[in-house]
Amino acid sequence: MPRSEYAISHYENDIPVFVEHELNRLYGGRYASLAHFKIYGNAKGAHTYIASKEGEASAVFLFKRRKQNAFVLNEGIKISREEAARFADHLFSTDKLTAAVTFNCVETDARDFAYPYLRIPCEEDIVLALPDTVERYMSSLGKATRSNLRTRLNKLKRDFPSFQFSVYEKEAADERHIREIIRLSRLRVTNKNKISIIDADEEERIIRCVRECGFVCVATIDGNLCCGAVNFRLGRNFSARILANDPIYDNYRLGFACAFLTICECIKVQNSERFYFGWGENEYKFHLGGKPRQLSRLIIYRSWHHVFLNAGQAWSTLLAGGLFRARQWLLQTAKLEGHGIISMATSNLVKGVRRLKAVKADLLKKLGLPRSLKSS
């Protein structure tokens, strides 16, 4: 399709009011939402690019410049070769100083650009395409999963007749419920001898996100919260943020049941499309119908000369891709081989990758460069 059919709008250091709706309509993802950008401080100083055809936006990118590089803030989005090329064409033609355009953690199979480019798999998340009814969703699950859900929920309601499951949106969500779910999440992480990434500042940001675009699922027994889920609704899509239950109910697999009930509530919303489980290959996500989605880092360079001038960025991207492939291979091997030396190697590699990411984030902060939004 000729690019001349598209109108390009470019707003320097500005995000028009209508952009929030367009981001949710086009992408519907947590890491591509204006609420996320504002609450995590990424909206300040951002520029806006909009490609439209016949008055309707086909792409909306928020981006920032660091020296000669343009970094797109939208993450977790699906992007075509045409939209990526159109954006690169626009920046290279209107800003002679732009040497490279970077999309981080995007779903794309884009290739064969008119410019030198790198497209390296770097992450993976889990996504469920939502059926149009709860009945169809239930029938799509495996036989063992359906049986397990029925058994667990029946036993739960039989043993605790006061069990209730409720949903509260935005301002209607009780702050005490949100904080209790976060506390239970921290407790679960601590019991695994790990440190929760949700500190006091992040807790406040989560509450702000709920007020903007969130909904909280609350399971209670005798009026007390026993399990809960914090989620975000963006356009037709839903993103999970926290799922946690009181450990005294572990034998009921309450967290698994709560996740299922949460998805059912999302399906009941008219024209719902996707449920993003988020990062991490927890088995329950696959049992509930989630499918892995590969995300890549895509860098488009103005010329080969600029590739060599930005060799450090290129090598960093290649290294991140190599670590991702190694991690995926070891995780898959560990599943096949069970516990033992492979599992130990996987655990050590994952810990090593986390240390590298922490060092990288610190270095990028000192250099004034943006880090992946996924870590926020």
Identify whether residues 259 and 206 lie together within a single domain: yes
For the chain, how long is the longest CA-to-CA vector?
A: 70
Q: Which residue has better confidence, 241 or 191?
A: 241
Hey, what amino acid is at 1? M
CATH no. for residue 135?
A: 3.40.630.30
For the ranges 195-204, 241-250, 304-313, the lowest mean pLDDT is seen at 304-313
pLDDT of 359 higher than 90: no
Which of 243, 272, 301 marks a domain boundary? 272
Structural tokens at position 263 = 């998805």
d(CA 50, CA 61): 7
Q: Which residue has better confidence, 313 or 232?
A: 232
The kind and range of the H/E element at 126 are strand 117-129
- The arithmetic mean of pLDDT across residues 14-38, rounded, is 96
Question: Do 360 and 371 meet the contact criterion of CB atoms below 8 Å apart?
Answer: yes
For residue 284, tell me if it sits in a domain.
Answer: no
CATH no. for residue 299?
A: 3.40.630
Query: Could you list the residue range(s) of the whole structural domain that residue 170 is in?
Result: 131-272
Residues 6+ apart with CB under 8 A from 105: 31, 75, 76, 122, 123, 295, 296, 297, 372, 373, 374
Band of the pLDDT at 331, cuts 50, 70, 90?
low
**Whole-prediction pTM value?**
0.82
pLDDT of 368 higher than 60: no
Identify whether residues 119 and 135 lie together within a single domain: no
The kind and range of the H/E element at 63 are strand 56-66
Helix (H/G/I), strand (E/B), else coil: 81: helix
Identify whether residues 223 and 299 lie together within a single domain: no
pLDDT score recorded for residue 305: 80
Identify whether residues 183 and 121 lie together within a single domain: no
For residue 279, tell me if it sits in a domain.
Answer: no
Strand order in the sheet with 117-129: 7-11, 47-53, 56-66, 69-72, 100-106, 291-301, 117-129, 274-279, 237-245, 224-234, 214-221, 164-169
Question: Do 275 and 252 meet the contact criterion of CB atoms below 8 Å apart?
Answer: no
For the ranges 244-253, 315-324, 332-341, 354-363, the lowest mean pLDDT is seen at 354-363
pLDDT of 78 higher than 80: yes
Domain count, the chain: 2
pLDDT score recorded for residue 194: 84
Identify whether residues 225 and 338 lie together within a single domain: no
Question: Do 310 and 100 meet the contact criterion of CB atoms below 8 Å apart?
Answer: yes
Band of the pLDDT at 332, cuts 50, 70, 90?
low
pLDDT score recorded for residue 341: 47
For residue 236, tell me if it sits in a domain.
Answer: yes
- The arithmetic mean of pLDDT across residues 149-163, rounded, is 95
Helix (H/G/I), strand (E/B), else coil: 227: strand
Model confidence over 171-188: pLDDT tens digits?
999 999 999 999 999 999
For residue 282, tell me if it sits in a domain.
Answer: no
For residue 207, tell me if it sits in a domain.
Answer: yes
d(CA 58, CA 52): 5
For residue 375, tell me if it sits in a domain.
Answer: no
Model confidence over 253-289: pLDDT tens digits?
999 999 999 999 999 998 899 999 988 778 999 999 9
Identify whether residues 238 and 296 lie together within a single domain: no
**CA quadruple 163, 166, 172, 174: dihedral sign:** positive
Model confidence over 28-47: pLDDT tens digits?
999 999 999 999 999 999 99
Of 232, 249, 21, 33, the residue nearest 155 (C-alpha): 249
Identify whether residues 102 and 150 lie together within a single domain: no
Identify whether residues 147 and 260 lie together within a single domain: yes
Of 50, 51, 33, the residue nearest 42 (C-alpha): 33
- The arithmetic mean of pLDDT across residues 89-97, rounded, is 95
Which of 207, 241, 272 marks a domain boundary? 272
For residue 360, tell me if it sits in a domain.
Answer: yes
Q: Which residue has better confidence, 318 or 202?
A: 202
For residue 281, tell me if it sits in a domain.
Answer: no
Of 246, 244, 238, the residue nearest 278 (C-alpha): 238
pLDDT of 321 higher than 80: no
Mean pLDDT value across the chain: 87
Identify whether residues 306 and 339 lie together within a single domain: yes
Identify whether residues 305 and 357 lie together within a single domain: yes
Model confidence over 125-138: pLDDT tens digits?
999 999 999 999 99
Identify whether residues 251 and 296 lie together within a single domain: no
For the ranges 3-7, 18-22, 230-234, 331-335, the lowest mean pLDDT is seen at 331-335
Band of the pLDDT at 354, cuts 50, 70, 90?
low
Of 247, 248, 245, the residue nearest 261 (C-alpha): 245
> If you write DSSP's letter for every residue of 27-42 in order, what string do you get?
T--GGG-HHHHHHTT-
Identify whether residues 259 and 150 lie together within a single domain: yes
Residues 6+ apart with CB under 8 A from 354: none
